[in-house]
Amino acid sequence: MKGLGSLHQYVKDNYEKGNYQAASEAYKTWKMENSYSQERNNQASSTDDYQAGFNQAKFDYENEHHFKRFPSKFIKLINLLSDDKASEVSKFIEGYNAYKEKH
């Protein structure tokens, strides 16, 4: 516990001196650029994910003569709980299942 107390004191002292200001600003910038809640390229990404799933299903059917199973209900639950952070996976599964239903 002595080492943990020393570490805490070190961080506290540096924080109070303002030594983490640059890191804080860098993190804020990174967070804004990489936020999942931003709507950047959302439509194009959804189309690409759907098409990737469709193409994978076609490949599986033509080369392996069977389809894979994906946990679509679980992914829907994850999307509900995580503000659609698994939407790419969901679109992939939709595309995969669309091809699967045709064959």
Whether residue 22 lies inside any domain: the answer is no
What was the pLDDT predicted at 74?
A: 92
CA atoms within 13 A on the CB side of 58: 7
Q: Measured between alpha carbons, how far is residue 3 from residues 9, 10, 47 in Å?
A: 10, 10, 52
**Pair of tokens at residue 45:** 């990404």
Whether residue 74 lies inside any domain: the answer is yes
pLDDT in tens, the chain (103 residues): 678 888 888 888 888 888 888 878 888 887 777 765 445 455 555 579 999 999 999 999 999 899 999 998 999 999 999 998 899 999 999 999 999 999 8
Whether residue 102 lies inside any domain: the answer is yes
Whether residue 30 lies inside any domain: the answer is no
What was the pLDDT predicted at 78?
A: 92
Whether residue 69 lies inside any domain: the answer is yes
Could you list the residue range(s) of the whole structural domain that residue 99 is in? 44-103
The domain tally of the chain equals 1
Q: Measured between alpha carbons, how far is residue 62 from residues 55, 58, 96, 100 in Å?
A: 11, 6, 13, 11
Residues 61 and 67: beta-carbon distance below 8 Å: yes
Whether residue 51 lies inside any domain: the answer is yes
Please name which of 43, 34, 50 lies closest in space to residue 93, comparing C-alpha atoms. Answer: 50
Global model pTM greater than 0.85: no
**Pair of tokens at residue 3:** 């080492």
Whether residue 77 lies inside any domain: the answer is yes
